[in-house]
Amino acid sequence: MFLSRVFTLYPDYFPGYLDKGLFGKSKGKEWNLEIINIRDYALDKHKTVDDTPYGGGNGMIMKADVLASSLDANVKSGEKTIYLSPRGKVFNSKLAREFSNENSINLICGHFEGVDERILESRNIEEISIGDFILSGGEVAAFVVIDSILRFIPGILGNLNSSRDESFENGLLEYPQFTKPQIWEEKKVPNVLISGDHAKIKDWRLSQSEAITRDRRPDLWQKYKKN
């Protein structure tokens, strides 16, 4: 069973929507979630988890000693540990698939101005960003990472093919999709999709995926063309 363990100052945010739908149904079977309240590992009676930055500057920094205590009490040897951070390697579908091959993953949610740098090296922590913007805390990023990993864990999605057909899986964005009714506000579903000709449908979908990727994501298109 895949385990995601989240280290947070806001344990109440979890499990949130991870307890609903297919994720909720498979929780406790195909995967599990453990929430660690970092504040429980504070060393003083005021439960202090942060302090001012050396060298001055705005905001507060999460203390290395408190984080270390929370990690050391919960992380098992050999497990991957990730600090969600705007400085990290940018998360994508390839990383989600890679992480889904782990037995467990530890996600540290930062707050304030981030964490004392020394914890990252001392506990061999990888930094992962969910994009070039700043969030107020790592919890939303943890949800993003867990959600996209779970889609690759066998048995969680009803139809495994649905994760294989999705945008990014073959280096392309997804083709347009339609459902009933066939005509809506005078717009008709493309004829090919109701032709019953599966080879033609496959070709049409590929050409649409290619056109959309070329227009919207020249970076992906260049990579796709090279392969």
List of residues contacting ligand SAM (CB under 6 A) = 84-87, 109-111, 113-114, 129-131, 133-138, 141
Q: How far is CA 4 from CA 25, 145, 214, in A?
A: 16, 10, 36
Tokens 């504070």 map to which residue?
Answer: 42
Contact (CB, 8 A) for 102 and 2:
yes
**181-213-133 Cα angle (round to 5):** 105
Distance CA 87, CA 83 (A): 10
Give whichever of 114 and 171 is closer to ligand SAM, judged by the CB atom: 114
| Smallest distance from ligand SAM to CB 110, Å | 2
Query: What are φ and ψ of residue 177, in 5° steps?
Result: -120, 150
Give whichever of 81 and 213 is closer to ligand SAM, judged by the CB atom: 81
Closest CA to 18 of 38, 43, 36, 35: 35
Distance CA 93, CA 29 (A): 23
| Smallest distance from ligand SAM to CB 1, Å | 26
Give whichever of 30 and 51 is closer to ligand SAM, judged by the CB atom: 51
Local structure of 118: helix, strand or coil: helix
| Smallest distance from ligand SAM to CB 92, Å | 13
Closest CA to 48 of 33, 67, 31: 67
Give whichever of 134 and 199 is closer to ligand SAM, judged by the CB atom: 134
Distance CA 6, CA 74 (A): 10
Give whichever of 93 and 170 is closer to ligand SAM, judged by the CB atom: 93
| Smallest distance from ligand SAM to CB 131, Å | 5
Q: Which residue, judged by CB position, is nearest to ligand SAM in the bound state?
A: 110
Give whichever of 54 and 133 is closer to ligand SAM, judged by the CB atom: 133
| Smallest distance from ligand SAM to CB 113, Å | 4
| Smallest distance from ligand SAM to CB 26, Å | 25
